[in-house]
Amino acid sequence: MLCLLPQPRCLNMEDGIFFIGLHTRIVLCGAASGMARTAAAQLKAEIASACGVDLAITIGQPDREDICLSVGSGSEEQGYMLRITAANVVVQGNDDAGLLHGVQTLRQIIRQRAWRLPALTIEDAPALPARGFYHDVTRGRVPTLDWLKQLADEMCLYKLNQLQLYVEHTYLFRNLTELWHIGTPLTSEDIMALDDYCAARGIELVPSLSSFGHLMELLRTKTYRHLCELPDVEALPSTMPNRMQHHTINASDPEALSLITEMIGEFMVLFRSRKFNICADETFDLGRGRSQETMARLGERGYYTGFVKQLCEYVVSQGRQPMFWGDIVVRFADVLRELPSGTICLNWGYSADVQEESTRILAQSGALQYVCPGVNGWNRWMPHMRVSWENIRRMAAYGRTWGAVGMLNTDWGDYGHINDPRLSLPGMIYGACAAWNGELQPFEEINEDISRLAYGDRSGRVVSCLARLSECEVYSWRSIVRHKEWMQGTLEEKRDASPIGLTDEEQLDAADAQLQETMAGLQEACLHMDAAMRPMLGCWLLTGEAVSLWNHAAHEVCAGRKNAALAMRLERWLHMYEQMWRIVSRESELWRIRDVAAWYADQLR
């Protein structure tokens, strides 16, 4: 069985075997662009890993037994043809991107069949031209540059071609030193290095910066607190719940536009991309404070879209194409015609039963749109994979029906980004397959393929075990954090400030039983994995321990019971969790998770 992700549009198996031998060469047949050279280097490394031979890369005409990489003149952008015969291997891209994608398919075949490649012909091209992944680097974790490069490598293998990093206050702006209290922010050198790395792999690194909502840390500073919509927000502590609620800039103050455009201008020049995502979502406090008069005069439609239009026009003036989240504007989509031509509306919806309406409304308004599903990892130790699969499947179908020009699959980090970002790989692959093919394989089928291809699991069961693990969380992390804040008196009374609702013991026991069975199955499946992939078992075991511990810690604390042994387990887990965090992330806001764990341990004693 050959697992290829995304599945090719047309694959014909034929008779014969091509053997990768000591004298096989990788020949760039007239294709010597930077992307082609990267593809050749990736192929060389894949063959060295799978076959133990170090092939030469050259430019010229191939001989028998060579692997030829070339760019032809096919009509479909990013398409390719891969042909394997007993005599040679040919990867021909319709363009440089197509060649790169064809090499990824060849790499996946080599990863499974080593030096004995089955004769076949593949003709393939993507359903959507833009296939992206959106990763939160603001709400808890700031990844290391090394891990961001690993993310780009994984994206390339599955033919994703756009990456966005969600930034509020985690970039080291030159003149905004009051934001640096976050610690370990991304620097200009980090961005430029990642931009270079992504470009060589056919990935457009698109800048994304909050500009309207989600600006609490900026608007709490002494210098800029006067621009906050709500006058009393600066007095609120910087907690995880408060950060998700209070963050809207007073757009009626002319200084707001000046500040935000200055930030956008400083940030955008670091990127090759000619796009810029201004975000502009979830403006919860709009018109509720300092701009009440403006809101009353213009209405939400005029006030909100007026500021978004100014930001988009600034982006256009700098030679870029604006993008923004569409959750507000979908209520009055006719105003999209007032925005600069080419503005892209990012249409998000994350539930398993997400409906078609917003996609239809935006399409009928004439908007360019990306459909934006999610990996469903926020507020969770393990992304909820079945919800993610269903959400992505539906959004892909809506995008296909209503002519979306791209898909941007999101990985948010609400409430501290507690889950290890490596756990989002299956969800990322769901999105890659849906965006390339326009549809998604059945849940169990794609999980088996991911198990075999991404994790080298010959049993095909690892990802199904992870999916079951994702269903074992009884108490959400959001409710766990809010209970602590409620007990400490730092939640606003006017908002939902109730403590956790105590679940029944039977539900907890059922979760324990499923978790125990799942972790045993996961360890068994890992015996069938390639040795190089097995280090992920440590991450999975620690995640399973987190699910169990927090289920019980939340339950005991809410029930008012003491359990010193459980407190000790929680503290031992925290020590291991901190070590795992630092493998892929900078120190960033690890202290927030430590603070929650310490409080619960104290309550348990």
pLDDT per residue as tens digits for the range 36-59:
999 999 999 999 999 999 999 999
Strands of the sheet containing 275-277, edge to edge, are 204-206, 162-166, 130-136, 406-411, 368-372, 344-348, 321-325, 275-277
Residues spanned by CATH 3.30.379.10 within the chain?
A: 10-124
What is the length of the chain? 605
Q: What is the CATH number of domain 10-124?
A: 3.30.379.10
Whether residue 277 contacts residue 312, with contact meaning beta carbons closer than 8 Å, is answered with: no
d(CA 285, CA 519): 44
**One-character DSSP codes across 122-159:** EEE--SSSEEEEEEE-SSS--B-HHHHHHHHHHHHHTT
Residue 58: count other Cβ atoms within 10 Å of its Cβ: 14
**In the block, which residue shows the tokens 């806001």?**
589
326 alpha carbon, distance to own chain's centre: 18
> Can the peptide bond before residue 6 be classed as cis, meaning omega within 30 degrees of 0?
yes
For CATH 3.20.20.80, the residue range(s) in the chain are 130-440
DSSP character at residue 15: E
**Whole-angstrom distance, CA of residue 203 vs CA of residue 197:** 9
pLDDT of residue 490: 82
Rounded-to-integer distance, Cα 178 and Cα 119, Å: 61
Q: What residues contact residue 269 under an 8 Å CB cut-off, 6+ apart? A: none
C-alpha to C-alpha distances, 603 to 191, 363, 477, nearest whole angstrom: 42, 52, 17
Residue 238: predicted pLDDT: 84
Cα Rg, the chain, nearest whole Å: 25
Q: Is 65 exposed, middle or buried (0-12, 13-18, 19+ CB in 10 A)?
A: middle
Cβ within 8 Å of residue 86, ≥6 positions away: 16, 17, 18, 119
Q: The domain 130-440: what is its CATH number? A: 3.20.20.80
With a cut of 70, list the residues of the chain below it in pLDDT. Answer: 31, 182, 493-499
Read off the amino acid at residue 359.
Answer: T
Residue 495: the pLDDT is 54
Rounded CA gap, 213 and 119, in Å?
54
pLDDT of residue 182: 67
Find, among 52, 49, 69, 51, the residue nearest to 60 by Cα. Answer: 69
Tokens for 108, please give them: 């996946």
The per-residue pLDDT for 493 is: 58
pLDDT for 31 equals: 67
pTM summary value: 0.97
CA 411 centroid distance within chain: 4
Give dist(CA 2, CA 4) in Å, integer: 6
H and E: helices and strands count for the chain: 18, 15
CA distance 170 to 184: 8
